[in-house]
Amino acid sequence: MTTTRAEPQPADFADVRTTNLAVVLRHLRTHGPSSRAAIAASTGLTKATVSSLTGDLIGHRLLRETGLSGNRIGRPATVLALDGSAYASIGIQVGPDRLTALAVDYSGDQLLLWHRAVDRAARNASAITALAQRAAGRVRQQGRHVLGLTVAVPGLVEENGTVRLSPALGWSGLDLRAQVAGSLRSGDLAVSVANHAALAAVAEHRHGGHPEATLAYVSGAAGLEAGLIVDGRPLRGGRGYTGQLGRFTLGPAGTPSLQDNAGIEPLVRRALPDFDPEALADLGPAVEQVAVRARAGDPGVLAALRHTGSYLGQGMALLVNLLSPEVIVLGDHFATLAEWLIPAAEAELNRHTSIRGTRITASGLGLHAAALGGAVSHLDQVDTGRIPRPLG
């Protein structure tokens, strides 16, 4: 009999404590401020264990005492609340035409959101590092500890942070993580680089109001890619890559790909044949223009949206037939056009699968969901009970 699965690791009491720290944090995140007794009653942990765990968390500035609860029989109890203000994290989203920096704290509060226009020549590791440096400086000025930085990039990104191929950015074999980490002044910042759609999916799952265990985020910001959450976690591809939706074709050589039919840039070219192609470097204004003309009832624009929507529905059918996600979120530029795209997509989806019940919706996170997901991913480790080392 061959052995085939991951080696289980011996468990010890440290694992138990880590798990129980996570249980306490989770209780407070779900139920809001609570007394130690309420935490114990709800989690099944003993009061002594809860006291020890919450002491640790207060020491790390992850909890704070907020006063006494009055609304109960007997002695008033001290109420504990999550205190997310001490820890923050930064996401930088790299698009064809701009860099976006975003910082959030552990409570999920957005601390800053900056956009920088960049052209192809200026879109490099130095520009990313400089922006990250300034964002980290600003957050540290507020007395917060910056846990990490994630750079969100379209295309194939290796787990070690090398961008293997990003047609939208014109990058291949770029060791972006090493370049950024090497030139950051503060060497203690954890740096990672990941696919932008995968990070946007994390943001939707955590902050977008889509707590479903299996979720697909469809991005049209730079090509056509999907970010996939499966069983509550980002899907890790066997070779490290996932969600390359735009490459789908079915037919003899030369058959157009899904990107050709459902991508945002082809949509803009179809909907606005009079649009200056030079301006396509920045899709945002063009997409707004499509929305304006659709709202005015322009038949050519509406036909182009129907075309894109039906092919998008075929792409969704691929996702539904393979993974049956509970929700598919149309992201970034697709979200801007969702009111026209979704009806066409849903009709087509139902023709191409027998699986029902996947909810199709538009992202409410705007164009910087990937930056948010990048920032959030460093804060996730805290929720699993691996709490940061005490603040110096």
Instruction: Select the span of 87-95, 174-182, 206-214, 334-342 touching a second copy (CB under 8 A).
Output: 206-214
Report CA-CA distances (Å) from 27 to 32, 39, 42, 234. Answer: 8, 7, 8, 23
Question: For residues 70 and 238, which CB has a smaller minimum distance to a second copy in the complex?
Answer: 238
Q: Which three-class secondary structure state does DSSP give residue 234?
A: strand
Question: For residues 176 and 226, which CB has a smaller minimum distance to a second copy in the complex?
Answer: 226
Q: Which of residues 221-240 bind a second copy (CB under 8 A)?
A: 226, 228, 230-232, 235-240
Question: For residues 59 and 256, which CB has a smaller minimum distance to a second copy in the complex?
Answer: 256
**Separation of first and last alpha carbons in the chain:** 52
Q: Which of residues 57-86 bind a second copy (CB under 8 A)?
A: 84
DSSP string, 83-132: -GGGEEEEEEEE-SSEEEEEEEETT--EEEEEEEE--GGG-SHHHHHHHH
| Nearest-angstrom CA–CA distance, 117 and 100 | 9
The answer to whether residue 5 forms part of the interface with a second copy (CB under 8 A) is yes
Q: Which of residues 243-272 bind a second copy (CB under 8 A)?
A: 243-245, 247-251, 253, 255, 258, 261
Q: Which three-class secondary structure state does DSSP give residue 157?
A: strand
DSSP state of 144: -
- Closest approach of Cβ 259 to a second copy, in Å? 11
Q: Which of residues 31-50 bind a second copy (CB under 8 A)?
A: 43-45
The answer to whether residue 52 forms part of the interface with a second copy (CB under 8 A) is no
- Inter-residue contact 349 to 313 (CB < 8 Å): yes
Q: One symbol per residue from 365 to 384: x for binding a second copy (CB under 8 A), - otherwise; what is it?
A: ------------------xx
366 in the Ramachandran plot: left (φ > 0), alpha (ψ -120 to 50) or beta?
A: left
β-bridge pairing 110-117 and 163-166? unpaired
The answer to whether residue 1 forms part of the interface with a second copy (CB under 8 A) is yes
Of 308, 314, 336, 363, the one binding a second copy (CB under 8 A) is 314
- Closest approach of Cβ 357 to a second copy, in Å? 5
Q: Which of residues 269-308 bind a second copy (CB under 8 A)?
A: none
Amino acid at 249: T
Of 209, 285, 364, 390, the one binding a second copy (CB under 8 A) is 209
- Closest approach of Cβ 319 to a second copy, in Å? 8
